[in-house]
Amino acid sequence: MLQKEFKQPMELWVKEDLILPECRPSLLLINETIQESNPELAYWNLLRDVLAELVKIHRFNNLQEAGSLVLLPNDYKDYDHTEQKKTLNKFRKEVLDSGRTLITFTPGREYKSVPGEIVFATSVYRNPAETLIPIPTWLYDLRSRISEIPKPSLPTVNFVGNTKYPGRLSSLMANLPMPHQVKSWLASSCAFNRHVSLGVRRGVGRIVRSRVIQVAKSAPNLQSDILERTNDFFLMTTAEKQTARAEYLQHIQDNAYTICMRGDNNDNYQMYEVMSAARIPILVDTNLQRPSLKEGKWEDFCIIVPFQEIHRLGEIVEDFHNRLSPEDFSLICQKSRATFEELLPHNFVSQIIQEIIDRSPKVK
């Protein structure tokens, strides 16, 4: 049944020769793909059950055939290093010059929108001038891989990930002496991060992660379980990836809390995996605008530590942990999982449709 707030499917137009068959398509085109067999990705199948009644897709090659809402068929970052990139950017300009609305999904990267474009992104800043719309970072559902644990006597805190991004520029930035106030600005500034290269942003990520891990390791009131890496997961061999993934999952299993923080963009995939595992995220906040919740607040299940106050990490986590009874701890873990489910694509898609309606006068 079509969700009651929408009277009819939204009509979207997709340029056929821009479709990248080797990549997962835009969220709004998922029902045109095959069923997922991986249990950690099976949640995409739930989206198919509702999507067909929410959107109607029209394919075209000539822009004159398109209606008012044009959807990029793949995430914007998927076009990087492809032959279609130049064609894509030319097409985007043509769409916007024609007065049509362009709908773009761009997870996992910094992005500057232009007038006439509706952008759904994971790297979104709390900024009055921000135009991007925050969406969750959908990756893997770890529920079947992680079992429940009781409240530990001390807060057990883990992190597994890169702390020394490769590259000369990254290394140079990390070793420059600078006040913590400057580091906080670099990590949290929308204007800065949207206008610098990936190499510079990797330097920012290295600054943030190195400082956070230094504090976590030295906090006497935390039982830290830290595994620092210097190699890129996506450049590992298959065997190396399997080992790295097993280590990552074991650290989540063994600990009550996981530190989640920005890397080379101001977003974080790990937080949603931690939520899926019914564990408590410790979000190092670098001015990140999170998706809005229909039920409760992020603070109900997530410890949020502003990066400018990272020296208080141990104190903040310990205070949170000590306020919890064993029953409270279990309930918060359940709330973390419940919020992950609230934000799964088949539940969150109605918010996406509503944002398109609200931001596009031609479909009101």
What pLDDT, in 10s, does the model give residues 116-144?
Answer: 999 999 999 999 999 999 999 999 999 99
| Cα–chain center distance at 315 | 27
List the domain boundaries for the chain: 10-136+345-363, 156-342
Q: Return the residue matching tokens 């141990």.
A: 314
Of 114, 111, 80, 84, which Cα lies nearest the Cα of 97? 114
Identify the helix (H) or strand (E) that includes residue 353: helix 345-359
Q: For the segment 69-112, what is each residue's pLDDT rounded down to a tens digit?
A: 999 999 999 999 898 999 999 999 999 999 999 999 999 899 99
User: What does the block give as tokens for 292?
Assistant: 């809005």
Computed on alpha carbons and rounded to an integer, the radius of gyration of the chain in Å comes to 21
For the record, the structure tokens of 358 come out as 């609200």
Could you tell me the sign of the dihedral formed by the alpha carbons of 87, 88, 90, 94, in that order? Answer: positive
* Residue among 364, 355, 359, 353 nearest 2 (CA): 353
The larger pLDDT score, comparing residue 268 to residue 363, is at 268
| 364 has pLDDT over 70 | no
Mean per-residue pLDDT for 53-60? 95
Instruction: Residue 240: count other Cβ atoms within 10 Å of its Cβ.
Output: 12
pLDDT of residue 329: 98
Q: Which residues contact 313 (CB under 8 A, 6 or more apart)?
A: 212, 215, 216, 219, 222, 282, 305
For range 149-169, the mean pLDDT: 91
Distance between CA 31 and CA 59 in Å, rounded? 15
DSSP character string of 16-53: GGG--TTS-B-GGGGGGSPPP-SGGGTHHHHHHHHHHH
Residues facing 103 on adjacent strands = 71, 118
Q: Is it the case that residue 152 has pLDDT exceeding 90?
A: yes
Residue among 161, 142, 121 nearest 259 (CA): 161
Res. 3 pLDDT band, cuts 50 70 90: very low
217 pLDDT more than 90: yes
Q: Kindly tell me if the per-residue pLDDT of 4 is higher than 50.
A: no
Nearest to 299 by CA among 310, 285, 286, 313: 285
Residue 334 three-state SS = helix
Highest mean pLDDT among 203-207, 242-246, 335-339: 335-339
Task: Report residue 73 as tokens.
Answer: 């068929």
Q: At residue 197, what are phi and psi to the nearest 5 degrees?
A: -75, 165
Which residues partner with 101 through β-bridges? 69
The residues near 60 (Cβ < 8 Å, ≥ 6 apart) are: 13, 14, 15, 16, 66
Among residues 360, 50, 316, the alpha carbon closest in space to that of 157 is found at 316
> What confidence tier does 167 reach under pLDDT thresholds 50, 70, 90?
confident
Mean pLDDT computed over every residue of the chain = 93
pLDDT > 70: what percent of the chain?
98
Return d(Cα 227, Cα 231) in angstroms, integer: 12
Distance CA 242, CA 239 (A): 5
Is pLDDT at 254 greater than 90 in this prediction? yes
What's the pLDDT band for 5 if we cut at 50, 70, 90?
low
Give pLDDT tens digits for 297-309.
999 999 999 999 9
* The pTM of the whole model exceeds 0.85: yes
What is the reported pLDDT for 177? 87
Return the higher-pLDDT residue of 117 and 229: 117
3-state class (DSSP) for residue 21: coil
CA separation for the pair 63, 232 (Å, rounded): 40
**What is the amino acid identity at position 161?**
G
pLDDT at 343 over 90: yes
Which residue from 313, 314, 156, 310 is spatially nearest to 223, judged by alpha carbons?
A: 156
- What is the predicted pLDDT for the residue at 363? 59
| CATH code 1.10.10 for 156-342 | no
Q: Are the C-beta atoms of residues 142 and 249 closer than 8 Å to each other?
A: yes
Q: Would you state the pLDDT for residue 2?
A: 39
Mean pLDDT of 6-17: 91
pLDDT of residue 81: 87
d(CA 150, CA 339): 20
